[in-house]
Structure 1
Amino acid sequence: MGEIKKIIHRIYYNTLRFFLSILMRFYFRQWQVANYDKIPHKGPVLFAANHQNAFLDALTLLFAQPRNVYFLVRANIFEHPVARFWLESLRMLPIYRVRDGLRSVAKNDEIIDKSVDILSKGVDPLLVFAEGNHNLKRTLRPLQKGIARIAFATMEANNFEIDLVVVPVGLYYGRHTRFRSDMLINFGDPIYVKEYIPLYKENANKAYMKLVNDLYEKLDKVVLSIHPTEYYDQIENEWLHKRTPKHDMLEQFLEDKKLVEEISKRYEHEPVSIPDEAKAEPVPPTPSLIYRIVMFPVFLYGFINSYPSYMLLDLLIRKVVTDIHFYGSVKKASNLILAPLVFLLQTLILYFIIGS
């Protein structure tokens, strides 16, 4: 009976992943994976990503590489039974925070044990959002020690003989909450946990801190991070005004990162304010006039078919979702349900009108 349940779950998971992959291609205008060759194709892998866009961040990694990934996400989003069903179906595991209560935090031991078991098998990778929280601001926040705890617990459970690798993952959105924006998944240089074992045996806390600090440095290279944070708005606004839109997302990221670093250095010494009315958002590259003319019929057809469901969904989300970090994630999940229903309704209406 247990084997049958596993087979059913595997079929369900693969089917859900297939439909989500199609939806992901529609949700993002452009989708790009960079430095894929830095990921080990087998063995235990612990992905460490920055966190800006709720559980949509997790889904991006699911489709950036072929292996089935487990995810550690904050526990409070599991409270609703329907949400719990969907999240568990996508192999998401709840991790508890201090604000969830001391009794809840104690449950983390069970989740960490499960994480160690997943990594020890070496079949499926595990993703941890190393900052421990999400924020739409383009700033890499201090990393939590939880990822180091999982890494060294896995090594210790396998007599320090397992070749565990921590891979930094930079997630870079054109516009976080907008439909048809751009997305870059940028893999960084891997960290081999075996190299930290001598220090771990000597002093576990020092090993924790060194691993976390090294991870921060590597993650910072694949994340657009605006510092100093006290001038965040000014630096972001100046960057948005000066940036040049590119078609290649990796090229865009590298140019944006260089520009932000140049502006940040100047703001450390000579902060200059930009009025609120001058605020801007990232602007995607403008298609050529010929391209827009040729593709206009396709755009018009898609607009007529999709706009009603898009507006209804946007209205519902703004009424129900109070945390803006969840906008993109909820839009994507809702589209999976709402879009087929709308298209089915349109088909039925056409059938009754034309009779075939």
Structure 2
Amino acid sequence: MLYFLLKQIVRVGLWVFFRRFEVRNRSLMPKRGPLLIVCNHPNTFMDPLLVAVLLRQQVFFITKGTVFNTPFKKWLLQHMNMIPIHRQQDAPGQTVNNSAAFQACFDALKNHQTLLIFPEGTSFNERRLRPLKTGTARMALGAEVAGAAEAGVAILPVGLNYSDPTRFRSNVFVNVGKPIQAAAFLPAYYDNAITAANALTDHIRQQLEKLIIITPSDEDDALIRHIEQLYKRQLAADLPPDAPKHERDFLITKAIANSLHYFNQHDPAQVELLKQKMKPYMQELEQMGLNDSLLGAAGEEHLWQSLKTALYLLLGFPVYFYGCINNYLPYIIPSKVANLLTEEQEFRAPVMLTVGLFSFPLFYLLQGFIFWSFIPSAAYLLLYQLSLPVSGFFTLHYWHIFQRAKGRWLLMRLFSKSKEKIAHLQVQRQNIMDALEQAKKHYLKAR
């Protein structure tokens, strides 16, 4: 019952926290076990929540044993379907014994249940995959050998792709892969258990790499994001027109990352040349408070769009003001609490989500009580309560439009006062676009 209630609360919280929560190949998720789900781990506690709400069946979570450090935590976490696993890195110089954890996993699989495990072992806010531990493979193969799962253990790879793991109202794309049958590795396991576990781990890694964006370094990751800003629209024209938007975004970024990997291997000089062109251009944009998308649009489009935006901002301001008054405190408190509790970027989003699950309902109840004390009408109270989340979402949208309008108006003002500077930026941009177009032709020809 506790698991079910928490799942419903978290589902609503995730729907609010993310602007877009998209899933690819959800039909590949089995509705029952024996099942081991393996995921990359970029966003700490947010990752298991995302996967768990997508499954009808209950999920058992393989969790590092250090969090079970008090009797109350042990009781609570066990009732939330968490199984402790002890890691060597948490107990240096000591012998780690996970026989009880493995037996609990075998029992769960025998009962056709679903386990979730992060084989990287730790969470990092990076678009890459750390070396995988062999525990998942050993668990699946051990369950098969022990006859714990008559139906055969399936391993389901799931890739989690965040647009910005630490930001409220960002996007997440869950990419589900095809299940891997552990029984296929049993013949090799009977020959050599260690070799078979390593082979299965390598296979899991290969499947996960297909489902996520991988960048080898922070510098390359920044370059890929810049290329996305400038060149995504042109690359989108090459994709199937019927592909869903979330899949198109993933495929474009994946293609950019793959092409960068190719040039790093075969023509690193071209990558360095692109960085030399890109860096000063992006720095100038940042200093001037501009966004590249503004320079890519036509001048006439600026004027017409500015008129429509000005009208929207004028007419929508009263609703925006109302939304700010009624939603500012529950909105800002999660961010403030996250700042106080952690400096690690990986923990910000789950802390904000957790605090937000309490701050918004509590403030809405308090505001409803105050409203009732002045206007004791059930009908008006219901309308007021409904207006709180609606005006909150409108306020977020209004602020987003306002920020874009500020950039557009700034560009128009700069264009009227400093045409030479804008013209210089446009020349820089065109040089970068020409370099990207040539690189694209080279890459496609090489492939």
TM-score of the pair, normalised by structure 1: 0.84
Note if contact 2:68-2:77 (Cα within 8 Å) is conserved in structure 1: yes
In structure 2, what is the equivalent of residue 23 of structure 1? Answer: 13
Equivalent of residue 139 in structure 2, options 150, 153, 165: 150
Matched residue, 2:337: 316
Aligned to 1:306: 327
2:42 aligned with 1:52: yes
Letter paired with 2:51 = L
Superimposed CA distance per residue, residues 318-341 of structure 1 (whole angstroms, 9 cap, x where no aligned partner): 011232211111111112222211
> Which of 153, 160, 164 pairs up with 1:171?
160
Cα drift, residue 150 of structure 1: 0.8
- Aligned residue number for residue 206 of structure 1: 195
TM-score where L is the length of structure 2: 0.68
Q: Give the aligned partner of residue 80 of structure 2.
A: 90
Q: Secondary structure of the residue that 1:147 maps to in structure 2?
A: helix
Task: Kindly name which structure, 1 or 2, has the bigger radius of gyration based on alpha carbons.
Answer: 2
**Rounded Cα–Cα distance in structure 2 between residues aligned with 1:160 and 1:119:** 6
Paired residues of 2:166 and 2:348 also in contact (CA < 8 A) = yes
Q: Which runs of 5+ in 1 are unaligned?
A: 1-10
Deviation at 1:117, TM superposition (A): 0.9
Q: Write out aligned runs for 1:121-200 (5 A).
A: 121-122=111-112, 124-158=113-147, 161-200=150-189
1:338 to 348, 355, 359: 359
d(CA) in 1 for partners of 2:84 and 2:319? Answer: 42
- Distance in structure 1 (CA, Å) of the matches to 2:172 and 2:116: 18
The CA deviation at 1:113 is 1.3
Residues 171 and 184 in structure 1, CA contact (< 8 A), matched pair in contact too: yes
1:2-38 alpha-carbon deviations (Å, 9 max, x no partner): xxxxxxxxx2221221111111111111111111222
Distance, in Å, in 2 between the alignment partners of 1:101 and 1:137 is 25
Q: Does 1:74 align with 2:64?
A: yes
The equivalent position to 1:278 in structure 2, one of 266, 272, 282, is: 282
How has the CA–CA distance of structure 1 residues 326 and 151 changed in structure 2, closer, same or farther, with 3 Å as cutoff? same
Asked whether the equivalents of residues 235 and 264 of structure 1 are also in contact (C-alpha less than 8 Å), the reply is no
Shift in CA distance, 238/353, structure 1 to aligned 2, threshold 3 Å = same
Give the aligned CA root-mean-square deviation in angstroms: 3.2
Quote the residue 1:6 is aligned against. none
Higher helix share: 2
Does the CA contact (< 8 Å) of 1:231 and 1:267 recur in 2? no
Instruction: Report if aligned partners of 1:13, 1:90 keep a CA contact under 8 Å in 2.
Output: yes
Higher relative contact order (CA 8 A, sep 6+): 1
**Deviation (angstroms), 1:84:** 5.4
Q: 1:163-188 CA distances to partner (integer Å, 9 max, x unpaired)?
A: 11111000011110111111111111
Q: 1:225 to 1:353 in 2, by over 3 A?
A: same
C-alpha distance in structure 1 between counterparts of 2:281 and 2:329, whole Å: 31
Structure 2: which 5+ residue stretches go unaligned?
A: 237-243, 295-304, 378-447
Q: Which moved more, 1:69-78 or 1:48-57?
A: 69-78
Shift of 1:109: 2.1
| Deviation per residue, 1:248-302 (Å, 9 max, x gap) | 222211111111111222233234245499389xx9x99x968x77987776654
1:118 and 1:261, CA in 2 relative to 1: closer, same or farther beyond 3 A? same
**For the structure 1 residues 338 and 119, does the alpha-carbon distance in structure 2 shift closer, same or farther, using more than 3 Å as the test?**
same
Contact 1:243 1:259 in 2 (8 A): no
Q: Pick closer, same or farther for the CA change 1:146–1:341 going to 2, 3 Å.
A: same
Which of 232, 253, 263 aligns to 1:244? It is 232
Residues 37/355 of structure 1: CA separation in 2 closer, same or farther (3 Å cut): closer
- What's the counterpart of residue 347 of structure 1? 368
